Amino acid sequence: MEREFPAWRLIRIRVTLAERVMEIEKLVQTAESLENIMVRCFGPHGRQVLLVRDTGDILITKDGCRILESLLLEHPAARLMVQCVSAHCSLAGDGAKSFILLLAAMLRASRAEIGDGLPAHHGAQRLWLARGLAKLVQEVLEPVLARHLAPRCGSALCLSSGHPLLPREQAAQVLAAYFGGKVGPSHTPFLTQLACDFLQRLGDGEMEPALNLAANCFPGLHITVPGLPVGSSRVLEGLLLSRGFSLLCGQGETRVLVVDGSLLPPLTEAGYTLQLESAAGLAEARDWARARAEEALARLRALGVGLLLSGSRQPACVLELARRQGLSVVDCLPDEDLCLVRRLTGVGPLSQVADARPADTVPAGFARPAPLGTHEQVLVGFLGCCGLRAHSLAVCAPALGLAMQHRDAIHGAFKLLRFLLPHPGHHDRESKKLWTGDLEKGSERQGTGDLERENGKQGTGNLAKGGMRQETGNLERGSERQETGDLERESERQETEDLKIGSEIRGTRDFGQECEKQGMWEPGKAEDLTEGMLGTGGKGGKHHQPVDQLARREPWELSECELPAGRVLPPGGTFEFLMHHYLQREADSQQQPDVRAACRIVADALLNVPRHLHPRADRGRDFLQAHTNFAANLREQGVPAVVDGPLEVVAAKQCLLVSVIRCLRLLLAIDRVIAVRGKLGNKLPTGSEVAE
């Protein structure tokens, strides 16, 4: 019998991957080396750090986030830590150094807890600890803050006529403490005043209406001017557009129209061919187009429009016609500027100019070329901006690097102040959902995906489109928000252009809590952690919330376990001492061993922050003294009332703590690191796959 050779052959290939185990010792070492760097610039005695970059540039700064991003780190755990810090800072504006201090201390405490068992059991113990930490965030942290800490805090807000109000003095005290940790001591008072001025003028006398706009859209509201002394930074009246005038006819009071597309109608549409019947046909067609454009411009003039803002380039003949009519034109405006105009004024780009109505135009007090800046810009003084007045900030500094640092510091200041508002929260809640839930499957709303995408873009200079849309989705009018099913569906569509500025968006805590209960967190699901990159949650099923059942609630009425808005504490470790004390009490009264261990870890780690506030020489003694004094005060009369002096925001601290715990859980859940050979840029996500 003839033997038939098989048509195929089974080949067994053995693939060996280079893989390493990520021991907790390595994590501690990495975190401690970063901590060592952060400690040098932390606290009132912190100094500025001189950093030599790989291009040979020198960076002198005190800003923790900037330092961390400038370091060259290829170690996957270090990259993960820096990514977590960046994400937190883009959300909260402050706290990079405290983040690393807390993280290093928690890793040390985790190492002690996991300790000397068999290495084979370490993986299981780390997961156990990670679960305990998640339960801590979910079940223990908020009640402790609300019940024990809140009564001892002061409030920066004052309620008047049913509306929480942020007085300028309190905001200045918060910002004084903030800027002290970010910029040099000589610039701190000046920048504090500048930020408060800007908020006040933007909010037309009040500070809090402008906070959300300032925090979300700051890239569009400022201009960096190198080459001038820091003292010449000032608030300019009007909105800054990033293009100069293509045609300037008049600068006075006028109406503004935003158009989308050229005023000259196209000769054909897409998919159609223009068939010319004679040689002169083309010229006739062009004349027809010119006539249409002339009509449109005349109509606009009749409506009183004096300034045309256009996203696309206007051809020369349109400019000529506009000059005859006396209209000014600014064209080639980027999308971000148009989005900002729409957010401020409520008018969007018009595609059919012929249908222009008076409601589509917006009044402006003036429109003139901007006095500062390297290239041409335009200042437009919009009026009637739904409770706000359009202002821009010019940040000056002798060197561009310093100007950028000041700009980032001011941006962070607004994000920090936002935590004082009654719903600081939408962002806090979002972040909490992300921190606790996004690692599990089936728990993502696309809206949060957008927010994460915004955070994932590190240091975007211009306002990103996605972020803009997300933030307008969260736009607060008054202080009530509602997440409707419509909005959710809308944010699923990536290219949505019509924003619901006028609609009320209402958010409630019931909604949030429902989200958290519905399968966001189950103890067994911790094994499903497969997060490779920060910010990509499980894209499993959508949450379809039954929105109709949501109760309408006043913003200042709270459920029991919620920290009231506007809580502040004196700086210098008060928050950390209080939390340490209460968490230790929790640890004693907890039933579950993993939550107990987690409480112990967090309580011990919290002391690392006030410890490093003291100068290095007498650190141990001073810290012990401060701790003893605090304990004595607590026993006798409680924390002294907050009257004056610098303040720190408790909600921001809570957000920081939650972020650190999340980062720790991520690190503890890493079991193997599989190396991928290839060249990495510094800003790219880590090339190693992090697998459970």
Partner 1 sequence: MAVNNGGEDFSWTPPSDAEMKVIEARRERQDKITKLMGDYLLKGYRMLADSCQECGTVLLQDKKLKNYCVACQELDSDVDKDNPALNPQAALSQVRERQRIFNGHEEPHPTRSTPDLPAEARALPCPERPEPVPPRAEGDAAAPRQGYPRAYAHGEAERAVLQKLAWASGELERASSVEYSSQLCVLIRNCADTLHSLKRLA
Give contact residues for partner 1 (rule: CB under 8 A). Answer: 25-26, 29-30, 32-37, 49-54, 71-76, 78, 112-117, 121, 124-125, 128, 593, 597, 673, 675, 688
Contacts of 678-682 with C-beta under 8 Å, sequence gap 24+, read: 680/74, 682/72
- At 238, which amino acid appears? G
- At residue 691, the 3 state secondary structure works out as strand
Rounded least distance, CB 408 to partner 1, Å = 20
**Enclosing H/E stretch for 223:** strand 222-226
Please say which residue, 115 or 151, places its beta carbon nearer to partner 1: 115
The Cβ of residue 580 has, within 10 Å, a number of other Cβ atoms equal to 22
Q: Rounded to whole angstroms, how far apart are CA atoms 146 and 139? A: 12
Q: Rounded to whole angstroms, how far apart are CA atoms 204 and 389? A: 6
Q: What secondary structure letter does DSSP report for 541?
A: P
Q: Rounded to whole angstroms, how far apart are CA atoms 417 and 93? A: 9
- At 323, which amino acid appears? R
Please say which residue, 35 or 444, places its beta carbon nearer to partner 1: 35
The residue assigned the tokens 């991928």 is 676
Please say which residue, 589 or 637, places its beta carbon nearer to partner 1: 589
Rounded least distance, CB 688 to partner 1, Å = 7
Rounded least distance, CB 368 to partner 1, Å = 46
Contacts of 652 (CB under 8 A, 6+ apart): 92, 93, 94, 95, 416, 419
Residues in the chain: 692
Rounded least distance, CB 31 to partner 1, Å = 9
Q: Which two tokens stand for residue 105?
A: 């201390």
Rounded least distance, CB 129 to partner 1, Å = 9
Please say which residue, 51 or 285, places its beta carbon nearer to partner 1: 51
Please say which residue, 132 or 203, places its beta carbon nearer to partner 1: 132
Phi, psi of 117 (to 5 degrees): -70, -175
Please say which residue, 116 or 269, places its beta carbon nearer to partner 1: 116
Q: Which two tokens stand for residue 541?
A: 């099923």
Q: Which two tokens stand for residue 471?
A: 């933030």
Please say which residue, 24 or 569, places its beta carbon nearer to partner 1: 24
Rounded least distance, CB 66 to partner 1, Å = 13
Rounded least distance, CB 34 to partner 1, Å = 8
Half-sphere exposure of 498 (CA within 13 A, CB side): 6
The Cβ of residue 326 has, within 10 Å, a number of other Cβ atoms equal to 13
Rounded least distance, CB 72 to partner 1, Å = 4
Q: Which two tokens stand for residue 517?
A: 């209960």
Q: What secondary structure letter does DSSP report for 358?
A: G
Burial code of 657-671, b = ≥16 C-beta within 10 A, e = fewer? bbbbbbbbbbbbbbb
Rounded least distance, CB 71 to partner 1, Å = 5
Rounded least distance, CB 559 to partner 1, Å = 34
- At 2, which amino acid appears? E
Q: Are 659 and 65 in contact (CB under 8 A)?
A: no
Q: Rounded to whole angstroms, how far apart are CA atoms 571 and 575? A: 8
- At residue 370, the 3 state secondary structure works out as coil
**Short-list 176, 332, 181, CA closest to 259:** 332
Please say which residue, 2 or 54, places its beta carbon nearer to partner 1: 54
Please say which residue, 108 or 432, places its beta carbon nearer to partner 1: 108
The Cβ of residue 255 has, within 10 Å, a number of other Cβ atoms equal to 17
Please say which residue, 118 or 551, places its beta carbon nearer to partner 1: 118
Please say which residue, 413 or 603, places its beta carbon nearer to partner 1: 603
Q: Are 314 and 297 in contact (CB under 8 A)?
A: no
Rounded least distance, CB 44 to partner 1, Å = 21
Rounded least distance, CB 603 to partner 1, Å = 14
